[in-house]
Amino acid sequence: MTRRVVVTGGAGFLGSHLCEELLRRGDAVVALDNFCTGSAGNVEHLRHDPSFELREADVSLPFTVDGPVDAVLHFASPASPVDYLRMPIETLTVGSHGTLHALELAREKGARLVLASTSEVYGDPEVHPQPETYWGNVNPVGPRGVYDEAKRYAEALTLAYRQAHGVDTGIVRIFNTFGPRMRPDDGRAIPNFVRQALAGEPVTVSGDGSQTRSICYVDDLVEGVLRMLDASHPGPINIGNPYELSMRELAEWIVRIAESDSPITFIERPVDDPTVRQPDTLLAQRVLGWSPRVGIEDALKWTVGWFRDQANGAPPLSAAATERILNG
């Protein structure tokens, strides 16, 4: 039976890939986005599908969706440091009010809701790798606190709705994800490194580059999220690739894949930048039968290729094109 799924942040990097895969699986999709970080261009290729609808909406304000809703994927939020440091109030508001409104929709419709939380709830971890049972080491008043605490609050609110109102909810904690449709200026390491390498500019690595991340290709992430949607587990469940590498290694890898002569240079490390990051994915394996399958080198090659094509391709969509997509 065809489901009708609401995806908040549906025109964003992750949201657009979720919309695409849901449609491929035969579901109907209503994508909601206010385009503060998302782009209608991310879902332009879906606009002729009669099962897809894109609506301009700020979920931080009360909203509803007419007709049946079987599932809600709450993915609306700035997610990169550049964005949430530029929009701190908006980030906190979508994590609080936006989550409340998404949960109210799920409650009204009797739908399952999956919340996109983040590995940032672990802060600069003192336990490595990070299992879901770890409470984290977060600085609530640091510059990253607006994002970390928004997600921590969203998790608590989601669990409260499950316990107090019986809403069918699940929480996924997403670790560093990459792939096509990332904005080249979004401030995260991989798009930064790729953009710089393709332009022949110095590739700027924070600190001495010894800090680590575990990076996951977007197709694997989408598969994990949709398995969580189809499950009944409340979470939280880590979704990420345990393959851990240093930022210097990642930069060197991207320079090589891009066949670039860019030198690697080092810049000041941001405040509260985590030293290590690696998911413990045993729970996802046991409950969801999920493990990442895409090799990191192949995924980086595809991602570099996509960025190269974009750099050589058409300009971003105009406001008129966005309006045309929204109005069908």
Helix 145-165 vs helix 99-109: angle between axes, to the nearest 10 degrees?
Answer: 20
What is the Cα 5 distance to its own chain's centre? 17
Domain carrying residue 123: 4-178+216-241+277-294+315-326
For residue 314, name the pLDDT band (cuts at 50, 70, 90): very low
- Residue 241 to residue 162: CA distance in whole angstroms: 28
Q: Please report, as a single letter, which amino acid is at residue 257.
A: I
Catalytic annotation, pick one of 147, 161, 217, 243: 147
Q: Given this model, what pLDDT does residue 90 score?
A: 97
In a domain, 299, yes or no: no
Q: Is the pLDDT of residue 326 over 50?
A: no
Structure confidence by residue, pLDDT tens digits, 157-216: 999 999 999 999 999 999 999 999 999 988 899 999 999 999 999 999 999 999 999 999
Residues 6+ apart with CB under 8 A from 196: 202, 203, 204, 262
Q: Is the pLDDT of residue 88 over 50?
A: yes
Q: Given this model, what pLDDT does residue 327 score?
A: 52
What's the mean pLDDT when you consider all of the chain? 94
For residue 112, name the pLDDT band (cuts at 50, 70, 90): very high
Q: Which residues pair with residue 52 across a beta bridge?
A: 29
In a domain, 256, yes or no: no
Rounded percentage of the chain residues whose pLDDT exceeds 70: 95
Q: Is the pLDDT of residue 258 over 90?
A: yes
- Residue 125 to residue 176: CA distance in whole angstroms: 15
Q: Which residues pair with residue 174 across a beta bridge?
A: 118, 239
Q: Given this model, what pLDDT does residue 272 score?
A: 87
In a domain, 186, yes or no: no
In a domain, 90, yes or no: yes
Q: Is the pLDDT of residue 297 over 60?
A: yes
Q: What is the DSSP string of 14-41?
A: HHHHHHHHHHHTT-EEEEEE--SS--GG
Q: Is the pLDDT of residue 317 over 70?
A: no
> Do the Cβ atoms of 203 and 265 come closer than 8 Å?
yes
pTM of the predicted model over 0.85: yes
Structure confidence by residue, pLDDT tens digits, 12-37: 999 999 999 999 999 999 999 999 99
| Alpha helices (runs of H) in 29-186, residue ranges in sequence order | 81-86, 88-93, 99-109, 145-165
- Residue 131 to residue 176: CA distance in whole angstroms: 15
Which of these, 177, 175, 172, 167, lies nearest to 71 by C-alpha position? 167
Average pLDDT over residues 25-54: 96
Q: Please report, as a single letter, which amino acid is at residue 3.
A: R
Q: Please report, as a single letter, which amino acid is at residue 34.
A: N
Q: Is the pLDDT of residue 240 over 50?
A: yes
Q: Given this model, what pLDDT does residue 315 score?
A: 46
Q: Is the pLDDT of residue 281 over 80?
A: yes
Q: Is the pLDDT of residue 323 over 70?
A: no
Q: Is 147 a known active-site residue?
A: yes
In a domain, 12, yes or no: yes
Extract the tokens encoding 65: 């969706």
Q: Given this model, what pLDDT does residue 232 score?
A: 96
- Residue 209 to residue 255: CA distance in whole angstroms: 15
Q: The domain that contains 173 carries what CATH number? A: 3.40.50.720
> Do the Cβ atoms of 77 and 9 come closer than 8 Å?
yes
Average pLDDT over residues 229-241: 98
> Do the Cβ atoms of 262 and 129 come closer than 8 Å?
no
DSSP state of 287: I
In a domain, 75, yes or no: yes
Rounded percentage of the chain residues whose pLDDT exceeds 90: 90
In a domain, 37, yes or no: yes
Q: How many domains does the chain have?
A: 1
In a domain, 42, yes or no: yes
Greater model confidence, 50 or 316:
50
Q: Given this model, what pLDDT does residue 117 score?
A: 98
